[in-house]
Structure 1
Amino acid sequence: MFERARRALQFVTTGTILAIAGIVGLILWDYYTAAPWTRNGQVRVQVADIAPRVSGQIIAVRVRDNQFVHAGDILYEIDPFDFKVAVASATARVNERQADMILKDTQETRRNKLTEVAASREEKQVYQATADMAKAQYGEAMAALSQAKINLDRTYVRSTVTGYVTNLIMRVGDFATAGQPNVRVIDASSYWVDGYFEETKIRSIHVGDRVRMDLMGFREPMWGHVISITRGIATPNATPSTQGLPSVDPVYTWVRLAQRIPVRVHIDSIPPGTQIAAGMTTTVTIVGSKGKRAHDTLAETFDRLHDALMGGTGGNGIRN
Structure 2
Amino acid sequence: MRKSIRWSLIALVSLILIGLGIWYYEYSRFHPNTEDAYLAARVVQPAPLVAGRIVRVYIHNHETVRAGTLLYRIDPTPYRIAVARARASLSQAQQTVRAEMADVRAQEANVRFADAIFVNDLLIAKRAKNLLHEGYGTRQTYDNAVAALKSARARLHLAQAQLAAAQQKLGRPGSHNQLIRIARANLDEALWRLKQTKVHATCDGAITTANLHPGDMASPGVSPFVIVCNNDWWVNANFKETDLTHVQIGDAAQVDVAMYPNHAFRGVVASISPAAGTAFSLLPPENATGNWVKVTQRIPVRIAIVDPSPAYPLRVGASVSVTVEPNHPLKVHDAH
Shared fold by TM > 0.5? yes
The amino acid across from 1:178 in the alignment is: P
Structure 1 segments unaligned to the other structure (5+ residues): 292-320
- Tell me the residue number matched to 1:192: 234
Q: Which residue does the alignment assign to 2:254?
A: 212
SS at match of 1:72: coil
Instruction: Return the offset for 1:164.
Output: 1.8
**Equivalent residues of 2:53, 2:215 under 8 A apart:** yes
Matched, 1:75 2:71: yes
Larger Rg: 2
Q: Does 1:89 align with 2:132?
A: no
Among 296, 301, 324, which residue is 1:263 paired with? Answer: 301
Superposed CA offset, 1:173-196 (max 9, x none): 110011222231112211112222
Distance 1:61 1:52 in 2: 13
The counterpart of 2:269, out of the listed 206, 226, 229, is 226
Asked if the contact 2:246–2:326 (Cα under 8 Å) also holds between the matched residues in 1, the reply is no
**TM-score under structure 1 length normalisation:** 0.76
Report the Cα distance in structure 1 between the residues aligned to 2:323 and 2:188, rounded to whole angstroms: 55
- Determine the C-alpha separation between the residues in 2 that align with 1:21 and 1:282: 29
Question: How many Å separate the matches in 1 of 2:36 and 2:282?
Answer: 26
Match for residue 181 of structure 1?
A: 223
**SS of 2:235 mapped into structure 1:** strand
- Report what 2:165 is aligned to: 126
> Comparing 281-290 with 58-67, which one deviates more in the overlay?
281-290
**1:20-59 mapped onto 2 (5 Å cutoff):** 20-31=16-27, 35-59=31-55
1:285 aligns with 2:323: yes
Distance 1:79 1:142 in 2: 24
Show CA shifts across 1:11-48 (max 9, x none): 76665555555444444455557741122222110111
Instruction: State the Cα deviation string for residues 208-239 of structure 1 (Å, max 9, x = none).
Output: 21111111121111112212211113436975
Mean CA deviation greater in 230-239 or 177-186 = 230-239
| Ranges in structure 2 where 5+ consecutive residues have no aligned partner | 115-154, 330-336
Which structure's residues are more often helix, by fraction?
2
Q: Residues of 2 paired with 1:207 and 1:278: CA distance?
A: 23
Identical columns (%): 24
Give the drift of 1:256. Answer: 3.5
SS in 1 for 2:214: coil
Aligned length: 282
Structure 1 residues 46 and 250 mapped into 2: Cα distance closer, same or farther (>3 Å)? farther
* 2-structure distance, mates of 1:18, 1:171: 69
Trace 1:165-180 onto structure 2 (pairs within 5 A): 165-180=207-222
Q: Which position in structure 1 is the counterpart of 2:62?
A: 66
Higher mean C-alpha displacement, 20-29 vs 276-285: 20-29
TM-score relative to the length of structure 2: 0.73
CA contact (8 A) 1:77 1:155 kept: yes
Q: State the AA in 2 paired with 1:149.
A: L
Once the two structures are superposed, the pairs formed by residues 235-254 of structure 1 within 5 Å of their partners are 235=278, 239=282
Point out the more displaced range, 267-276 or 281-290: 281-290
**Equivalent pair of 2:251/2:328 in contact (CA under 8 Å):** no
Amino acid across the alignment from 1:129: Q
